[in-house]
Amino acid sequence: MSSSDDSTAPKRVPHSENKRSRFPVILIALALFAGIAVAVSPLGDPLRTAGSLWNGLFANHEDRSYRDLVHWSAEENLAFKKEAHPWLPADATDIALRTTHDAQGWALSFDSDALQPAGCTPIEATIAPVMDVTWLPNPGTSGWSCGALTVQGTEDGFAAWMP
């Protein structure tokens, strides 16, 4: 019962005649290798520091830290720095900063021996920040109004935030 019409049977194509290109697979592998190499090399530092790449993709905020006021001033000139810089004491150290990705709020804490922030007005009760930051002191106690910011004393220095 053999039929001479084998047109429905798939033809075997020898490997040497296979026209399918391996170029896309090789290109993807090279791109992946190059991306990993850049990320772990010194060239990847801007990627890791500018956006906190891993945390920044999934968090609604970014945390940064600075050794002192010199280190704080050396980084890019972000808008909130213009608001905070006039009253930051010269001896500020261990500066912690949290900013929201939507630029709606930020919070700052730092160590200092200063008695009060320079050029700020005392207030009887501070207002809660617009963002949730566990390391900020509880609002409602006395503090200072420093332009658009609320500032409150801490054990080691001060904390400031956008109310």
Stronger pLDDT, 91 or 55, i.e. the higher one: 91
User: Over pLDDT 70: what percentage of the chain?
Assistant: 63
Q: What is the pLDDT of residue 18?
A: 57
Q: Render the burial of 142-161: b for 16+ CB within 10 Å, e for the rest.
A: ebbbbeebbbbbeeebbbbb
Amino acid identity at 100 = T
What is the overall mean pLDDT for the chain?
Answer: 75
* pLDDT band per the 50, 70, 90 thresholds, residue 143: very high
Classified as helix, coil or strand, 144 is strand
List the structure tokens of 101: 């990705």
* For residues 117-136, average pLDDT: 86
* For residues 62-78, average pLDDT: 78
Question: pTM for this structure?
Answer: 0.57
- Residues contacting residue 123 through CB under 8 Å, at least 6 positions apart: 142, 143, 144, 145, 150
How are beta strands 61-68 and 143-146 bridged, if at all? unpaired
> What residues form DSSP beta bridges with 121?
145
* For residues 77-105, average pLDDT: 75
14-67 tens-digit pLDDT: 655 556 666 677 778 888 877 776 666 665 555 555 554 444 455 677 788 888
Amino acid identity at 108 = L
Question: In angstroms, how far apart are the furthest CA atoms of the chain?
Answer: 104
Q: What is the pLDDT of residue 121?
A: 92
Rounded distance, CA 48 to CA 128, Å?
A: 31
State how far Cα 125 lies from the chain centre: 31
Rounded distance, CA 151 to CA 109, Å?
A: 9
Stronger pLDDT, 24 or 85, i.e. the higher one: 24
* pLDDT band per the 50, 70, 90 thresholds, residue 70: confident
Measured at the alpha carbon of residue 29, what is the angle toward residues 26 and 35, in degrees to the nearest 5? 140
